Chains A and B, each alone.
Chain A
């Protein structure tokens, strides 16, 4: 962790802070319409101008950060929990149960996650589901589309870890399944899955925006970047800023999470799952360092 590029954390942390404190940062009510100030450019009253309903763009961008952040956090935690439980259970018990669970996971991975989420949004539009708000429909749809990746990964880690001799040693010493699982297996699973989730956060923010962009995500009064962008498309010739501002906000967040994920992957992935490439790269770096020290000495 010594050489860890801490600065890389900054953009992601700023996004999270803006999301948490958005009600205090917003200068206007993001849903308040002002027909006296339509499609204005930046000014003292409206820092980033106004949209086609006279809503304050700055407040909508800040509010949109919270919409994305909350949805992303819910989906990530739920998908991670479901995936880890199903995946590691399958890997640990083995046999027929494992076969059945793997089949379920494979079926869930037979389509791109976003296509599944889109189809589920269509299903949830039926009257049977009218008790859920659009926001929660989106969160549930994304969770159901997202868990399988985590399940597959968790199972792979468990299967690999179970072959380690120390597991057998623990068993010989009379450790219970619960003990072995929670003390020895689970930390390995979480180690990998959390690293993956940090990179996945960007993909999820993107998915949320894509759903709204396609008109199947968050409903209009709630500020959301994808929604703002698609609304702005109608005014692309008069006022391209309506498209550019939410687009840049979205890109900045995704870039920062991807940077974070890359930094994590290069520095912190547990030994058990580190790829050949990373291992070799690290070894090469260590050798380089040793050589340099030798020269210095």
Chain B
């Protein structure tokens, strides 16, 4: 058991290393001359070859790629992600400013997706083929298909332009968080509602559900007491996957609502070819993505003894 845990953790660490190495290679090697870019930013069109060569030398850009990656990794492990080419501020500072904003977005959206999906899924299962079930199924389908930026735009049109209830851009107070949270929760809530509904149906046809009925429990009691605990593992797995995909939601939502989070910074870094910023944010995303997946796997192993056995090749 412990060995399986350690193995998974080790694999996740290896994966983080490999993925950051790959992004490092892509981001720094492919676009050509970072030194020329920096010189251009610093001195405008007046950057000459000498200056570029000096910058390249100072930054160690002439060293072979593995050496540069090792140096970057060493710095990154001590919390130094370099200085953004776009804002001129250390990335650690940018992180400190922006991560809380994105985390608040993800946390609020995650909670909302959790509550909505469980409510929709259980209500659907309780109605089982009835009108509520069919309406919820349709809603979940449309919810999973609506582009989040269009949904956000519609929310802005309805609540800001037509009803004038919330400011169009920026955050001020709790109400202005509502639209971003609803937007980011829409897709995961729709997908998860389907997972709850389908697995509920699956579980309700098992013998122990029949036993519940035979004991004289009502349908809702069987649903909540017998079926619900059994969907925990598939739900948790999908929730983890959806939660990590909320990175994309955050990128879009931060842009639409003008929030200064990590996702907005990522898009700006790409547009201004701020390669140091890009690498830092990609590293952050890799760590987030891989560790959430790891956490879900470990929780599933704790919950389901079958997963603890080493798999046969």
Cβ-defined partner of A240 (8 Å) among B161, B202, B244, B269: B161
Cβ-defined partner of B146 (8 Å) among A118, A127, A226, A251: A251
> In the complex, what distance in Å separates the CA atom of A171 from the CA atom of B245?
43
Is A5 an interface residue when CB atoms closer than 8 A count as contact? no
Minimum C-beta distance from B16 to chain A (A): 8
CB pair A115–B285 under 8 Å, yes or no, is yes
Minimum C-beta distance from B240 to chain A (A): 13
Is B233 an interface residue when CB atoms closer than 8 A count as contact? no
CB pair A110–B142 under 8 Å, yes or no, is no
Closest B residue to A202 by beta carbon equals B145
Is A74 an interface residue when CB atoms closer than 8 A count as contact? no
CB within 8 Å of A: which of B47-102? none
CB pair B150–A250 under 8 Å, yes or no, is yes
Cβ of A255: which chain B residues have Cβ within 8 Å of it?
Answer: 141-142, 145
CB pair A210–B149 under 8 Å, yes or no, is yes
Is A254 an interface residue when CB atoms closer than 8 A count as contact? yes
> In the complex, what distance in Å separates the CA atom of A230 from the CA atom of B141?
24
Is B290 an interface residue when CB atoms closer than 8 A count as contact? yes
Q: Of A50-58, A184-192, A212-220, which binds chain B?
A: A212-220
CB pair A247–B150 under 8 Å, yes or no, is yes
Closest A residue to B15 by beta carbon equals A110
Cβ of B168: which chain A residues have Cβ within 8 Å of it?
Answer: 236
> In the complex, what distance in Å separates the CA atom of A259 from the CA atom of B27?
38
CB pair A111–B285 under 8 Å, yes or no, is yes
Cβ-defined partner of A127 (8 Å) among B32, B156, B202, B255: B32
Is B286 an interface residue when CB atoms closer than 8 A count as contact? yes
Is A243 an interface residue when CB atoms closer than 8 A count as contact? yes
Is B113 an interface residue when CB atoms closer than 8 A count as contact? no
Knowing A112-B289, A210-B252, A243-B153, the reply to whether A119 touches B270 (Cβ < 8 A) is yes
Knowing A215-B267, A280-B202, the reply to whether A126 touches B31 (Cβ < 8 A) is yes
Contact count A vs B, C-beta below 8 Å: 139
> In the complex, what distance in Å separates the CA atom of A118 from the CA atom of B267?
8
Minimum C-beta distance from A100 to chain B (A): 12
> In the complex, what distance in Å separates the CA atom of A115 from the CA atom of B142?
24
Knowing A119-B26, A125-B31, the reply to whether A226 touches B149 (Cβ < 8 A) is yes
Closest B residue to A250 by beta carbon equals B147
CB pair B26–A114 under 8 Å, yes or no, is no
Closest B residue to A207 by beta carbon equals B248
> In the complex, what distance in Å separates the CA atom of A136 from the CA atom of B285?
26
Is A176 an interface residue when CB atoms closer than 8 A count as contact? no
Knowing A118-B266, A247-B154, the reply to whether A213 touches B252 (Cβ < 8 A) is yes
Cβ of A111: which chain B residues have Cβ within 8 Å of it?
Answer: 19, 282, 285-286, 289
CB within 8 Å of A: which of B195-213? 198-199, 202, 205
Cβ of B256: which chain A residues have Cβ within 8 Å of it?
Answer: 233
CB pair A284–B31 under 8 Å, yes or no, is no
Is A133 an interface residue when CB atoms closer than 8 A count as contact? no
> In the complex, what distance in Å separates the CA atom of A1 from the CA atom of B256?
44
Cβ of B19: which chain A residues have Cβ within 8 Å of it?
Answer: 107, 110-111
Is A294 an interface residue when CB atoms closer than 8 A count as contact? no
Is B298 an interface residue when CB atoms closer than 8 A count as contact? no
Minimum C-beta distance from A265 to chain B (A): 11
Interface size on B, residues (CB 8 A): 50
CB pair B18–A121 under 8 Å, yes or no, is no
Knowing A128-B30, A216-B271, A236-B156, the reply to whether A210 touches B15 (Cβ < 8 A) is no
Knowing A126-B31, A255-B145, the reply to whether A244 touches B15 (Cβ < 8 A) is no
CB pair B161–A236 under 8 Å, yes or no, is yes
Closest A residue to B29 by beta carbon equals A123
Cβ-defined partner of A110 (8 Å) among B145, B271, B290: B290
Minimum C-beta distance from B209 to chain A (A): 13
Cβ-defined partner of A206 (8 Å) among B147, B244, B255: B147
Knowing A122-B269, A123-B27, A277-B198, the reply to whether A112 touches B247 (Cβ < 8 A) is yes
Closest A residue to B275 by beta carbon equals A122
Cβ of B22: which chain A residues have Cβ within 8 Å of it?
Answer: 107
Q: Of residues A107, A126, A128, A254, which shows the largest number of chain B Cβ atoms within 10 Å of its Cβ?
A: A107
Knowing A214-B267, A243-B157, the reply to whether A125 touches B15 (Cβ < 8 A) is no
CB pair B161–A119 under 8 Å, yes or no, is no
Is A9 an interface residue when CB atoms closer than 8 A count as contact? no
Cβ of B18: which chain A residues have Cβ within 8 Å of it?
Answer: 103, 107, 110
CB pair A209–B270 under 8 Å, yes or no, is no
Cβ of A215: which chain B residues have Cβ within 8 Å of it?
Answer: 267, 271
Is A34 an interface residue when CB atoms closer than 8 A count as contact? no
Cβ of A157: which chain B residues have Cβ within 8 Å of it?
Answer: none
CB pair B205–A280 under 8 Å, yes or no, is yes
Is B278 an interface residue when CB atoms closer than 8 A count as contact? yes
What 9 A-B pairs have minimum CB-CB distances, sorted nearest first? A126-B31, A247-B150, A122-B270, A110-B19, A254-B145, A255-B145, A123-B30, A240-B157, A243-B153
Show 19 A/B contacts (Cβ-Cβ < 8 Å), sorted by A: A106-B15, A107-B15, A111-B286, A115-B285, A118-B267, A118-B270, A119-B282, A122-B278, A125-B270, A126-B30, A127-B31, A127-B32, A202-B145, A213-B147, A237-B161, A251-B146, A254-B146, A277-B199, A280-B205
14 more A-B residue pairs beyond the given contacts A126-B273, A210-B147, with a C-beta to C-beta distance below 8 A: A110-B18, A111-B286, A112-B289, A114-B248, A122-B270, A122-B278, A123-B31, A214-B255, A214-B267, A229-B150, A233-B256, A236-B153, A254-B147, A280-B202
Instruction: State the A residues within 8 Å of B (CB).
Output: 103, 106-107, 110-112, 114-115, 118-123, 125-129, 202, 206, 209-210, 213-216, 226, 229-230, 232-233, 236-237, 240, 243-244, 247, 250-251, 254-255, 258-259, 262, 276-277, 280, 284
